[in-house]
Amino acid sequence: MKTLLLIALTTATALASGCRKSEPPAAATAGGGPRRVEVTVSNQGFTPPRVVGRPGEDLTLSFRYDKSAGECGREVVLPSQNIKKTLTEEKPTEIALHLPQEKGEVTFTCGMNMLRGACLLYTSRCV
């Protein structure tokens, strides 16, 4: 678990350091609605552990629960958004977000704060 977290952090750092590469994907196409990102919760934690978004972007996170996550990964919490959802095997749980305007991150964790992931918010210019 420690190793995984380290890899996740390293990846995030790598993303943040490469200017061109760190730019978030283009904004959702007009009329296409919020961008939808699938996140799997398993014994590997959140995959992908980091989602890159734009400040102010509308984003839907679709959490797919894998049994290997056990009871630990059953709940997803977004503390800054006051959101707590219980996941099921049957179908993905969608969480619609309006990302904050500021640069920064919106974290998501399991109910016990052991598995961690985040939406990283970058402006379109290099930070």
**Binding region for Cu ion (CB under 5 A):** 72, 110, 112, 114
Q: In terms of CB distance, is 53 or 73 closer to Cu ion?
A: 73
Shortest spacing between CB 112 and Cu ion, in angstroms = 3
Q: How far is the C-alpha of 23 from the C-alpha of 26, rounded, in Å?
A: 9
Cβ pair 28, 35 in contact under 8 A: yes
Nearest-approach distance from CB 118 to Cu ion, in angstroms? 16
By CB neighbour count within 10 A (0-12 exposed, 13-18 middle, 19+ buried), where does 25 fall? exposed
Q: Give the residue with the Cβ less far from Cu ion, 14 or 112.
A: 112
Cβ proximity to Cu ion: between 67 and 125 the closer is 67
